[in-house]
Structure 1
Amino acid sequence: MNGELLGRIGSPADVKALDPAELPQLCADIRSTLVAYGKAHGGHIGSNLGVVELTVAIHRVFDSPRDRIVFDVSHQSYVHKMLTGRAHAYLDPDRYDEVTGFTNPEESEHDQFVLGHTGTSISLACGLAKTRDMMGGLDGGSGIGNVIAVIGDGSLSSAIAFEGLNNAAAQGGNLIVIVNDNEMSIAEDFGGMYGPLARLRESGGTAEPNLFHAFGLDYRYVEDGNNVAALVETLEQVKDIDHPIVLHVHTLKGLGLDAEDAAAGLVEGRCEANHWQDPLSAADRLPGARKHYGEMAMRALEERFATEPGLVVISPATPGSNGITRAFRERAGSQYVDTGIAEEHAAAFASGIAKAGGRPVLATSATFFQRTFDQLQQEVSLNRTPVTLLVFGAGISGTDNTHSGAFDIAMMANIPGLTCLAPTSGADFLAMLAWSTGAANHGPVAIRVPGEAILLAERAGGAAWNDAVAGSASAVGAAECPWDRYRIARRGNTVALLGLGDAFPLAVDAAGLLASDGTNPVTATVVDPRRYDALDRSTLDTLAADHRVVVTVEDGQLEGGWGEKITAYYADRAATDGTRHSPVVVNVGAGKEFTDRVPVAELRERYGMTPERITARVRAALAQRSPETQGTQPST
């Protein structure tokens, strides 16, 4: 039976109580549990398989939670969770969803931070160690012992990791930085530092230049990072050390994947696919929106590579999840750049390419674009460079609280000079991409890559509203943005439903419900805005003339978002000219909150983002005033 020894581990004290000869069996139990869990549930299995022995050794030697362990990104914390009272969340299929895939202090006192983005562990560890040393030191009254940061070689490409190393060397005091070197990021490692890192591996840690020595840090190397006895011995030697040290541990990512995994394309070692494992039952599923529309975009760009040498696709790691396939990367050659997990550099790098006359396309997740805010505002928008941003995974989702894409509209639409577009079909998406990367465009453009709602509608053949999209491929040569004006998809009266991007199918469905009401049918106007950084005041004025209620629907945070701008516009309009008719405005969208693995259907109910809830609010708004009533009455 898998996990017989693991099932008896309720805390790190149980790991310490084992006979040293039992540690390999514990590691074997953990590894077989991870493999079974990955097949049934999915997750970051490859990275966790690589750190089994390292994590067991850490909990054998150190005394969590007094000794503070900070896992970078924390996607490799499954083993840590197993050893800190949560093993049954991996052993029992009925309990698989009890824990998140990242560390979370609400789950356990052994988890220091909620983490899901990369490169921050060393900085966080520096802060813990600083406070400990200010309050009495390692043996003082702070309650904090050793501070350990566990970071992968791929995460070292993140700028903040270097900032942390720089600070650690100057700060001094006890701080142990464990570099888990499995020779991989999500895809391969990219960057000049990886050559010296490889030479350190090849030389048993003796080669120079040594990146860590250059920072003024002590350094040790462990070649067999999957040998639990060797790791225990080394960690015992550095425990309670009085100065910062880097422990460079060479591990094998995905160690223990079996033949069934190999048949699904996951193998040990340098294998991009083993970064994230879908359940084996998902093998026959159609690609999701990210891969579908990402591959579509890459095909369109690749057709232009031969004649447009300045056209460059940039991915700060995570290429595969966004449809940037390995085959595409190989064909693209120098017209594809993986910057490593360095989103800020990627944005500034893209601006440099554009300034020199190139046409860069920077593709990453909405949640990762958050890390680039300063560069998007300063290096890109302030300098008016024609950088195209492909924003994947935007909108509400059932993901964990570190990977939500619900904040992109509020963030990007409020950057001066950044044109923000939200296509509602694949054809619309490609037209926008062609325009933004073409000679007619002279500024930065963010395109919200269509999500699952749009893809579902297109696959069902229900996206007929896009049969005659103004601003399609025939209009991409226009000097001005072809999407300055909203598109009226269906004309009606009394009520206007404006559905932005992925929320457009929801507006269509709500209009259908209003029309099908046998007691009091309403033929609503349905509007596809397509642009969310600026308002089409002309269309808004036209709607106000013969519509009593205007509803905005957006797949993102309402506060600071797009719908509030329309509410404010109508309020200002009424205030400056009281004789003009103003409709009641109803804003529909997400709340301002972090959500953790809440199903999308539940979120839509919570936020009133269903056709039934929207039509109920429309009926209430219609009832609250007569057609002659003046003044905007926002309803958010």
Structure 2
Amino acid sequence: MGDGLLSTITDPDDVKALPAEQLPELCAEIRATLLDYGHRHGGHIGSNLGLVEATVALHRVFDSPRDRIVFDVSHQSYVHKMLTGRVTSYLDETQADETTGFTNPDESEHDQFVLGHTGTSVSLACGLAKARDAAEAAGNVVAVIGDGSLSSGVAFEGLNNVAEQGGNLIVVFNDNEMSIAGDFGGMYGPLARLRESGGTAQPNIFNAFGLDYRYVEHGNDVNALTAAFEDVKDINHPVVVHIHTTKGLGLPNCDAAKTGTTADPCDLSDSHPHAGRCEASHWQTPDSALNNPDDPRKYYGKLAMAALEQRFTDEPGLVVISPATPGSNGITREFRDRAGAHYVDTGITESHAVAYAAGIARAGGTPVVATTASFFQRAYDQLFQEMALNAQPVTLLSFLGGLSGSDNTHSGAYDIAMFGNIPGITCLAPTSGRELLGMLAWSTDPARRDSTRPGPVVIRMPGDPILAAERETGTALSAEHLPLPKPSVNWTQYDITRIGSKAAILGLGNTYPLAEQVAQSLPFDATVINPRQFSSLDISTLEALRTDHQLIVTLEDGQLEGGWGEKIATYYANHLDTQGRTPQTLAFGAAKEFTDRVPLHDLNRRYSLTPEAITTAIRNRLKYMEHARSKRQ
């Protein structure tokens, strides 16, 4: 625990009570605390270091929670949490897990929403202001947006609505000249000219929306910010306060952000074992890391990029598209530099990225869109209509699918139910790097588009269980293995990897190693199957299992309800053999619930996704079935 000013702050009133001359001292303590916290715990440190003074000024001027402050993405809310009664989580390592990486109303009345995706703060603030005005209530509504969030399409929709709605609404635009992996888009040139001109240049994107506009050049001067916020407090119309900040201020290498040498030199998450909890792994790693597999997300991403890169010279229409966070998915800085026009970063714009890819495919190109499963949720309409309904041969590489110990905003546990229930999409779940590359070669084969309706393909990138199994068996691929010969495989046909009887265990994607472990622990030879895909049923294989199998067991590391295993259970329930019989089924998967930073091993125990629990369930079910048969006889 600290013994300075910061440790005395229990709520925003304590910030208001400080003499103005002590505010810089408070900011310095906060910055030091952030750096120490980041080195110990990981997290989105760079964005918060840049927003220290702005957050102190916000709570100095406004009266939270009566004045509602909405932090976009809310990875920028660490300082806000320190000033609203949660400082011990940052000062005392033993209490670090008591505070999440994003805003959360369950933690504090000062947090308006649980937010972990980008661009929605203005829309949310617009709704808060609308309800306030309808009730003829008082109070300011403040949306804090920036760190790349402004390029998100929903942010533009919100700004458009704000201008039309009118009334008090203050948009604080945190302009740190970058986002997680650099800014992309035509809007950033005019923004740069606004900075260069002290906020006077035209065109002014905010004025174009019909919004009032103020510019604060020294966005890390707490007194200048306090004055700017006091000037707009209780304003009777929407206003944008554009503050120019330095991301990572306080780190020796924070200037690297301006050089483009790394996606975000100020975020420390990849150096911490719990990096996945905030989805903040922004460090870039060299291509040579492919030969040293560690993080499955980066390892399999680099593997996929290496395979695609070898085709760039001969396939001008082959394009990799990333809607932000490329380095997290193994799309390294070196790869992007070499790829040139074969790589496009669209900014934080998942909906646009998918529609953009559908356009490329329609014109004869071969697009590959790479991002995380929880981010693809934001593009559901485009997945459904522009891509699937139009049968465009787009390939989606979906990372972090399945169960994890992540924050509730970044869980991939719902991806199978989401992708697998959209008509026309082929959803593949590789169980090795070799399968991944075979599936990628097939989905991006220019010859595939010659079919009547080639359709899109989702490849669920392998996770920790797959990489761990490959490392244990020594089968993990390295750069020397590429290119691999193109396999002639029907990826929609289940692969029977172990032939047995009585029970068949189908382990989808990341649960395939678990299926192998269960089979090895049973007192009889069970059949083991790698389904390879979750978009359709391999009816011929399911029917063939009837002969020697009394029990069909499905394993998936995703939501069971609406998922893959239920489809197989439903198939057998609805299709009896000629004597009116059908195998019984056991389906293992996750409950339909939000989980927040629950360790993966605890989730697996909760959902009985362990060898012991599954083996016990199989033995008990077979014993029950045998007892029932003996009673009938």
The verdict on a shared fold, with TM-score over 0.5 as the criterion, is yes
Contact 1:77 1:103 (C-alpha < 8 Å) held by counterparts? yes
Inter-CA distance 627–427: structure 2 relative to 1 (3 Å threshold): farther
Structure 2 partner of 1:111:
111
Contiguous gaps of at least 5 residues in structure 2:
274-282, 284-288, 449-453, 477-483
1:174 is matched with 168
Cα 1:47/1:602, change in 2 over 3 Å: same
Give the equivalent residue in structure 1 for 2:507.
Answer: 499
Say whether the 8 Å CA contact 2:41–2:272 is kept in structure 1. no
CA shift at 1:58, angstroms? 0.1
The correspondence of residues 138-153 of structure 1 with structure 2, limited to 5 A, is 138=138, 145-153=139-147
Matches within 5 A, 1:67-86: 67-86=67-86
Structure 2 residue identity aligned to 1:201: R
Aligned to 2:236: 242
Match of 2:496 in 1: 488
Q: Structure 1-normalised TM-score?
A: 0.92
Q: Give the secondary structure class of the aligned counterpart of 1:531.
A: coil
Could you give the per-residue CA deviations for residues 572-591 of structure 1, whole angstroms, max 9, x where no partner exists?
102xx551541110000111
Q: Secondary structure at the match of 2:309?
A: helix
Amino acid at match of 2:208: A
- RMSD value over aligned CA atoms? 2.0
Give the aligned residue type for 1:203: S
Aligned to 1:318: 325
Match in the other structure for 1:36: 36
For residues 315-341 of structure 1, give each alpha carbon's deviation from its aligned partner in whole angstroms, at most 9, with x where no partner exists: 000101000001100110111000000
Q: How does 1:448-459 map to 2 (within 5 A)?
A: 448-459=460-471
Tell me if the contact between 2:88 and 2:95 (Cα under 8 Å) persists in the aligned partners. Answer: yes
What is the one-letter code of the residue matched to 1:234? A
Matched, 1:361 2:363: no
Task: Identify the match of residue 548 of structure 1 among 550, 565, 573.
Answer: 550
CA–CA distance in structure 1, aligned partners of residues 619 and 474 of structure 2 = 26
Instruction: Quote the Cα distance in structure 2 between the aligned partners of 1:281 and 1:214.
Output: 43
Note if 1:206 corresponds to 2:200. Answer: yes
Tell me the equivalent position of 1:529.
Answer: 531
Equivalences for 1:315-354 in 2 at 5 Å?
Answer: 315-354=322-361
Matches within 5 A, 1:4-15: 4-15=4-15
Q: Give, as a single letter, the amino acid of the residue that structure 2 aligns with 1:191.
A: G
Q: Tell me the alpha carbon deviations over residues 356-399 of structure 1, each in whole angstroms, 9 at most, x when there is no partner.
A: 00000000000001111110110001111100000000000000
Report if aligned partners of 1:503, 1:555 keep a CA contact under 8 Å in 2.
Answer: yes
- Is residue 441–residue 486 contact of structure 2 (8 Å, CA) maintained in 1? no
CA distance in 1, matches of 2:336, 2:168: 43
Shift in Å at residue 286 of structure 1?
Answer: 5.5
Q: Distance in 2 between matches of 1:233 and 1:90?
A: 28
Give me the whole-angstrom Cα distance separating, in 1, the residues matched to 2:42 and 2:150.
Answer: 26
1:408 is matched with which residue: 415, 418, 429? 415
2:211 to 217, 228, 246: 217
Selected match of 2:268 from 273, 277, 281:
277
Percent identity, aligned pairs only, is 63
In structure 2, the residue corresponding to 1:548 is in which secondary structure?
strand
What is the CA deviation profile of residues 121-167 of structure 1, one whole-angstrom value per residue up to 9, with x for unaligned ones?
A: 000000000000001143xxxxxx10000000511111100000000
- The answer as to 2:455 corresponding to 1:443 is yes
CA drift of 1:278 comes to 2.6
Q: Whole-Å Cα distance in 1 between the matches of residues 270 and 2 of structure 2?
A: 18
Q: Give the whole-Å Cα distance in 2 for the aligned partners of 1:155 and 1:513.
A: 50
Give me the whole-angstrom Cα distance separating, in 2, the residues matched to 1:269 and 1:222.
23
- Name the CA distance, whole Å, in 2 between partners of 1:583 and 1:281: 47
Q: Residues 269, 167 of structure 1: CA spacing in aligned structure 2 closer, same or farther, 3 A cutoff?
A: farther
- Indicate conservation of the 8 Å contact 1:2/1:29, yes or no: no
Describe the shift of the 1:189–1:104 C-alpha distance in structure 2 as closer, same or farther (beyond 3 A).
same
Residue 379 of structure 2 aligns to a residue whose secondary structure is helix
Who is 1:399 aligned against? 406
8 Å contact 2:251–2:266 — kept in the other structure? no
* Matched letter for residue 212 of structure 2: D
Q: Does 1:420 align with 2:427?
A: yes
Please tell me whether residue 59 in structure 1 is matched to residue 59 in structure 2: yes
- Any idea what SS the aligned residue of 1:595 has? coil
In structure 1, C-alpha distance between the alignment counterparts of 2:69 and 2:99, rounded to whole Å: 18
- In the alignment, is residue 433 of structure 1 matched against residue 435 of structure 2? no
Change (3 A) 1:58 1:89: same
Change (3 A) 1:569 1:440: farther
Contact 2:257 2:263 (C-alpha < 8 Å) held by counterparts: no
**Which moves more between the two structures, 183-192 or 279-288?**
279-288
Aligned residues: 601
User: Counterpart of 1:569?
Assistant: 571
Partner of residue 294, structure 1: 301
- Alpha-carbon distance in structure 2 between the residues aligned to 1:22 and 1:603: 46
**1:230 and 1:474 mapped to 2: Cα distance?**
62
The CA deviation at 1:463 is 6.2
Which residue matches 2:594? 594
Q: Tell me if structure 2 keeps the 8 A contact 1:365–1:393.
A: yes
Answering whether residue 391 of structure 2 is matched by residue 389 of structure 1, we say no
- In structure 2, the residue matched to 1:141 is none
Q: Deviations over 1:381-435 (max 9, x none)?
A: 1111100000000000000000000001001011111000000000000000000
CA contact (8 A) 1:421 1:448 kept: yes
Q: What are the residue-to-residue correspondences of 1:121-136 with 2, within 5 Å?
A: 121-136=121-136
Contact map agreement 1:291 1:323 (CA 8 A) in 2: yes
The whole-number CA distance in structure 2 between the counterparts of 1:530 and 1:628 is: 34
The residue type equivalent to 1:401 in the other structure is N
Cα distance change of structure 1 residues 580 and 380 upon mapping to structure 2, 3 Å threshold: same
Report how far residue 2 of structure 1 moved.
5.5
CA contact (8 A) 1:548 1:627 kept: no
Name the CA distance, whole Å, in 1 between partners of 2:514 and 2:249.
45
| Map of 2:17 onto structure 1 | 17
State the one-letter code of the partner of 2:530.
D
8 Å CA contact retained: 1:544, 1:581: no
Instruction: Structure 1: give runs of 5+ residues left out of the alignment.
Output: 139-144, 465-471, 515-520, 631-636
